[in-house]
Amino acid sequence: MTNSRKVFEFERIRIDKWLWAARFFKTRGVAKQAIESGKVQVDGQRTKPSKEIEVEAIITVKQGFDEKTIIVKSLSDQRRPYSEAKLMFEETDESIEKRLIASEQRKAQPSIWTSSSKPNKKQRRLIHEFKQRS
């Protein structure tokens, strides 16, 4: 007995469902929150989770420090492995270049460790010592 998968080709699909199927977000709920908070734009404008997108739509997705501009290549409402999901979209060359530049800039910045607690006795002595030197 063979296991055949049905592949449906849609003309339009909800953006939250497509982002989930294309593996940008782990769940549709997280995709919906990102869309509602303005981290996802379709053709340069904020959108709603129920917005139906078409092939060749331009979507901007902000995830953490990165902002990706992608072009929709195919539509599907089924979540597949990433090797198949990455065929559903294409990231623009300009977007890739911007992300690489931003990544290099973040790496070049000094990392500052913030403490979540008050300094202990030894740390206070070092602070006072440092302040008295200058």
Per-residue pLDDT, 42 = 95
pTM of the model as a whole: 0.73
Per-residue pLDDT, 1 = 45
Per-residue pLDDT, 134 = 67
What average pLDDT values come out for the chain (134 residues) when binned by 10 residues?
51 92 95 95 93 94 94 93 93 95 88 76 91 83
Length of the chain: 134
The CATH number that domain 1-100 falls under is: 3.10.290.10
55 Cβ neighbours under 8 A, 6+ residues apart = 72, 73, 74, 75
Encoded amino acid at 124, one letter: R
Per-residue pLDDT, 4 = 45
SS3 90: strand
Partnered with residue 53 across adjacent β-strands are 13
Domain ranges, ordered by start, for the chain: 1-100
